[in-house]
Chains A and B, each alone.
Chain A
């Protein structure tokens, strides 16, 4: 006989309060798999997980946990097979962290048994794994949201069940803790045969990084169930989440980020110029607001997502060509940036650091035909740095040789731009 699958569900439909929450969900967790359930709020993620655990009775369909129908298992037998980490919990007593994690052993000890060595080891192991050893005597109600979430995770681990079912286990955690929890789950499922993890998540990037497959839930139905590479597409994300995104793949890792702010509100043109700013890393933080305030139509780029200038551009509704975080500029983004530069009356090179990633901005600028003003703005002498072994500085010199104006400070630049825009308008 072959080993039973960790989890199997067929034709699951669930009604809650007279409303159909899940319809015809089929899924199979294979040995060692980490399955991420993604979908918008209210799509039925939590209900699905609860149904898989036997905590919610489905209207139709059946669930098998390690080869046994879940509704035939006793509550404690079920809890020894699958551990459940709910999204949130409001304990009514201020139990200590150690007592709280110890409760995970209930299905093993029973109501009236005594803790033995294996119970103590499971509890200690979970406390150590979640770095909670020094918290053992703290009251759970005295912890922060993130600390309490780690306690919940530790409890799920101490339950020592082969199947882990987790509902947004990282929602309150900082980035380092998120990686730790997901990394732990990743090791957990590989360590021994018969293990599997199913986890509801909101972060598509993390889900794609750690999960073998993604289960896309939309309005209670499976929209897709496939590997991240095959299923994370802008179309799918729009279908499930109703939002436009940009999806890229780098070294096999799927990256999802929002598109350039689509609806920049029409800004009254006070005889301004179209000004494109080459910035990044905060070098545009003075310039961008000043230009916008002066009534110029401002664009920027190419910027990396999560860069402070990108965030600022977004805030100011400045259109920008945007690249994935911490990545070199790709061809589509460069083309977008060239388009923005071509349609500008003036281009300003902010006092930015030039590295391999953004050198392309200057190269593209050099290739433009010379019908527009180009300004090279100096910051404090220490600011502009070239990390490209001279190629950046040479590009700037070449710009100046071709007629770019070197400007000492933002006020001077603003004066030049305002004068020329006044001259232009009749």
Chain B
């Protein structure tokens, strides 16, 4: 077939004309680099916004001083808020006990959700899949609700510390239990992408109604903190949370990123994937497990933050194409960037120290964005 033929003449001409045919996007390395730099800039910038705007030079000093690169003992610029001077030690406290954990946690949650979303979209071959596809959000909500409700039911006033531990713990367990149900279901001989998605949908409905049941047992006032928790936020971020989530993102997310080639093969359908030597059911279970661990941990610390996991992989597809080997790491970076920015918006948009739930911001930003993506995609090249 390699012989020259008349047919090959026009295609050679096409080779010389790079303007013909759809562009397949930028190289994956460049994409990663650009998004990585954007994330770094975004992260640093977000330290400078917020209720107490620490001047950039002070930020630089405090960071360098903390890691021991700077021996000087005082901030370079005086910070005055409402006519009162804020001492350098207080600025350090604000930065290290509040700002930095918040920004880092939002970054990690974004990365975890985006990775999970990309994996779910690839695994279920469905562009509308997201990290909460398998009923994980409802599971975590039920877990959190049990803490809030049970506390008031038993007349216990939870200490702040107790609540900070119990809510994430039960949220994680609820989310993980929901994921486990889907994992167990995937052992069935009837399991395929469609049945598993429907299992997740049914599970979400059941758990959602259970949560309503749990709440309705108690006065309505209980529902308010739960609602705020569900909408998501990072105000209560701690270094412990950052540490746990960082470990999960590095380990589970790292393993997931290594499965880029597997996800590529799965895009051709289970038949071909099997033909190429992938054991589809066991690979599916592995990817679901990794994804559930990432999502459940993220949800435990941040509440249910929508759209990031759905939108981030689509943004990356538009930039560099659908190759999962680079789609996964790039999605993690984009997801991290999106949540850092969303958190900045949430903390600064209302002014006067009032903070909007981050889930509201991502919803308001993400909803229109996904519509834009959908309709732009339809109008270009017909790849539906």
Using CB atoms and an 8 Å cutoff, list the residues of chain A in contact with chain B: 53, 55, 74-80, 83-84, 86, 89-96, 99-100, 103-104, 106-107, 109, 111-112, 128-131, 133-135, 137-139, 141-142, 159, 176, 180-181, 183-184
Contact = CB atoms under 8 A, between A and B. Distances in A.
A95 B322 contact: yes
Contacts of B269: 89-92
Given A75-B279, A184-B1, A134 B268 contact: no
A141 B271 contact: no
> Is chain B's interface secondary structure helix, strand, loop, or mixed overall?
loop
B264 A103 contact: yes
Contacts of B350: none
B321 A96 contact: yes
A53 B272 CA distance: 11
A176 B5 CA distance: 11
B14 interface: yes
Contacts of B259: 111
Contacts of B122: 93
B277 A75 contact: yes
Given A86-B271, A103-B265, A76 B258 contact: no
B368 interface: no
A395 to B, nearest CB: 40
Contacts of A138: 21-22, 24
Interface string B265-277: 1011101101111
Contacts of A128: 2
B277 A84 contact: no
B265 A106 contact: yes
A112 B264 CA distance: 12
Interface in B331-384: 381-383
Contacts of A95: 264, 267, 321-323
B317 to A, nearest CB: 8
B7 interface: yes
B12 A53 contact: no
A96 B24 contact: yes
A107 B8 CA distance: 31
B323 A111 contact: no
Given A106-B276, A128-B2, A141-B383, A94 B322 contact: yes
B125 interface: yes
A111 B328 CA distance: 15
Nearest to B274: A55
B11 interface: yes
B88 interface: no
Contacts of B12: 134
Contacts of A131: 1-2, 5, 7-8, 11
Contacts of A134: 11-12, 14-15
Nearest to A75: B277
Nearest to A92: B125
B218 interface: no
B1 A93 contact: no
Contacts of A111: 258-259, 261-262
Given A95-B323, A109-B261, A141-B383, A86 B272 contact: yes
Given A89-B271, A106-B265, A133-B15, 8 more contacts: A92-B125, A93-B125, A95-B267, A103-B264, A111-B259, A131-B7, A134-B11, A137-B21
Contacts of A181: 1
B278 interface: yes
A142 B382 CA distance: 8
Nearest to A112: B258
B182 to A, nearest CB: 20
8 contacts: A75-B277, A80-B277, A91-B268, A95-B264, A95-B267, A99-B321, A131-B8, A142-B383
Contacts of B1: 129-131, 180-181, 183-184
A91 B267 contact: yes
A86 B14 contact: no
A104 B265 CA distance: 9
A106 B321 contact: no
